[in-house]
A = this chain, B = another copy of it.
Amino acid sequence: MKEEDKEQVGLEKFLNSVVIVSAKDGRKFRGRLTQYDEYMNLVLKDVEEFSGEEQAVKHKLVLIKGGNVSAIST
């Protein structure tokens, strides 16, 4: 295994892209990732929030706590 494989998995490849964040509380958020930190706290802009079958709720800005993040996908 090469040493560079062991660097912390980063979010650089997701920055300024539209991502889907799956949260532990069952909600999903789709928006542009504008900021993050080492705890995986995330700031999304122009966000749609999905919860079960309900219609999406829109937010200008959402901060998702790292401890509430399950997965991030594109």
Instruction: Count how many chain A residues have C-beta atoms less than 8 Å from C-beta atoms of the other chain.
Output: 46
A40 touches B65 (CB 8 A): yes
Residue A50 at the chain B interface, CB threshold 8 Å: no
CB distance from A20 to the nearest CB of B (A): 8
Residue A56 at the chain B interface, CB threshold 8 Å: no
Q: Mark A10-51, 1 if CB is under 8 A from B, else 0.
A: 111111000000111111010000011111111100010100
Known interface pairs A37-B6, A65-B70; A15-B1 also in contact (CB < 8 Å): yes
Bound state CA distance, A66 and B68, in angstroms? 11
Query: 6 smallest A-B Cβ distances: which pairs?
Result: A9-B41, A59-B73, A1-B12, A62-B73, A68-B70, A63-B72
